[in-house]
Amino acid sequence: MQRVTIVVVTVLAIILVPLGGASSFARAGDKRLAIVYLGQIKPYQSLSDEIADNLRGRLDIQIFELDRKSGGRELAGRLKSFAPDVVVCIGGKAYEVCSRLDIAPVILAYNTELINEQDPFCILRYLQPAAKKVVAVVDRNLDRQRRGLLTALAKRYGLSLSINKTGFCSQDELLRGDAVFLSGGVLIINSGRNRASGNGSFVVVTDRSCSTYRQLEQQCLSGLAKADEIIDLGNCTESMLRAKLQKTKPAVIICIGAGAYQRCRFMGDKCTVLVALRTKSIDDMGHWGRLSGVNMFIEPAEQTRILSLLVDKPLRLALPYNPENTELFVLKSLLSINNGIELVPLPACGAKEVGRILEKALREYDGVWVIPDRTVSVGPVRKMLLKESLRRKKLLVSMMHPYSKAGAALAVSSTAKDNSALCDKVVELIKAVLNRPTAAGRIVSSPVYISLNIRTLEKLNYKVPESLLGRAEYVFGKD
């Protein structure tokens, strides 16, 4: 009798284990899932179909194909009528339409700017996972409800938050915690490499040639105590900046954006170096914490770890980017341990600057790392980079497999030959959202896939180790 009981229990366990990963669906069979994607894009359509096939029978699923020309006007009524419990948006256009409707929690897939859509505390966790204390400096007239929302949001991320209502932030407040949040949406992060004090002065370093950084500088200075000096990188060479900072010996340096931080972080053992960046403001708080998704910008540390398998000497790679699109990814790269690979951010604040920035990158550095930034990833730019990197024998690394297929040495990407891994991540998020609809948004990273161009690597005299070759999903240029 005991043996029979064991067999029955075992059989039940075998039957129930496949359902265990989706136990929430069994309890919520009447839950509705809407999948929205932009028509005529095959990867979006195939991912949509795979998600639906994976969950069919466990959720009431409806797929909505978005028409590019209509701008989503015809979709609003149909979505509201369906009344979904969760919406999966595949691609940025679908998210743009669905976020305006605000009818259900949203999961975003196949988008490279997901982190930019998150609340400040999610961004802080992404950049500094060990952060614990935050000081918020808010407007004197901020109402009690929004202060309460700010406190509740910080609590969701396990952060200790103190709110200052004086209207400006002193040096003491800048140094009190791991980050300072200004009500205009500015997040000032303590890089954590500091704790030494200078002569007490407070310096701001910025690049005023970039409109994005000019706006961020104004927001910063409106919420901070008066700076003793403002250094414009547009009028300052590398050697001039070093000499000026070493002579001034400031106690605090606030760097406006990733580019300024990269140039000032050598002062980290002499003073406190902070970096300021734009995030969502308090007025956007009603939408904070609801968006979940799969981050298509894979962890920079993982990318440089793969690249380090290929190179056996220190390498300086230029990292062109548009501050409006990819500031957070670039800053994360600088905060990561990069295994002897130095990433040098070169902000290209507009399409007109791209040619000049890339020409400088190919002339002055060992190579260029191209990220999926819509300012630097357009067709003509790609052709120029591929041609000039080979002519100058410079390493070209990308986050898009078509680059390595066309001649770049290496690509580390979040896309693969099929959507199975990405589909699994989205299904995981659907389950989490249905279990806790009011919880803070969850960002998960997609797996890493490698492609190599053997012909290019041979031309550049790189020897590909078997360990890297064995991990590559795509190998181009064999013949």
Which of the residue ranges 224-233, 269-278, 285-294, 447-456 would you say has the lowest mean pLDDT? 285-294
pTM of the model: 0.86
pLDDT higher than threshold 80 for residue 192: no
Return the pLDDT at 197: 58
pLDDT higher than threshold 90 for residue 392: yes
pLDDT higher than threshold 60 for residue 54: yes
Residue 85: helix, strand or coil by DSSP?
coil
DSSP 283: G
Return the pLDDT at 9: 35
pLDDT higher than threshold 70 for residue 11: no
Please say whether the beta carbons of 258 and 331 come within 8 A: yes
β-sheet bridge partners, residue 37: 65, 90
Q: Residue 198: which pLDDT band, with cuts at 50, 70 and 90?
A: low
Percent of residues, the chain, with pLDDT higher than 70: 91
CA distance 183 to 249: 30
As given in the structure block, the two tokens for residue 374 are 């819509």
Return the pLDDT at 340: 86
CA distance 234 to 283: 32
| Closest by Cα among 196, 172, 191 to 249 | 196
Residue 358: helix, strand or coil by DSSP?
helix
CA distance 98 to 79: 9
pLDDT higher than threshold 60 for residue 1: no
Return the pLDDT at 332: 92
User: Distance of CA 395 to CAs 137, 372, 462, Å?
Assistant: 44, 17, 10
Return the pLDDT at 199: 64
Select from 3.40.50.720, 3.40.50.2300, 3.40.50.10440, 3.30.450.20 the CATH code of 2-117: 3.40.50.2300
Could you read off the pLDDT of 412-424 as tens digits, one per residue?
998 888 889 999 9
CA distance 61 to 19: 18
Q: Is 175 exposed, middle or buried (0-12, 13-18, 19+ CB in 10 A)?
A: middle
Average pLDDT over residues 187-193: 82
Q: Residue 376: which pLDDT band, with cuts at 50, 70 and 90?
A: confident
As given in the structure block, the two tokens for residue 378 are 């357009």
Return the pLDDT at 40: 82
pLDDT higher than threshold 90 for residue 426: yes
Return the pLDDT at 71: 66
Q: Residue 3: which pLDDT band, with cuts at 50, 70 and 90?
A: very low
Query: How many residues are given for the chain?
Result: 479
pLDDT higher than threshold 80 for residue 12: no
User: Distance of CA 434 to CAs 55, 133, 439, 478, Å?
Assistant: 13, 30, 10, 47
Could you read off the pLDDT of 66-87 as tens digits, one per residue?
887 766 777 888 998 999 999 9
Domain span(s) for CATH 3.40.50.2300 in the chain: 2-117, 292-416+447-476
pLDDT higher than threshold 70 for residue 2: no
Mean pLDDT of the chain: 85
pLDDT higher than threshold 60 for residue 164: yes
106 compared with 373, residue with greater pLDDT: 106
Select from 3.40.50.2300, 3.40.50.300, 1.10.10.10, 3.40.190.170 the CATH code of 292-416+447-476: 3.40.50.2300
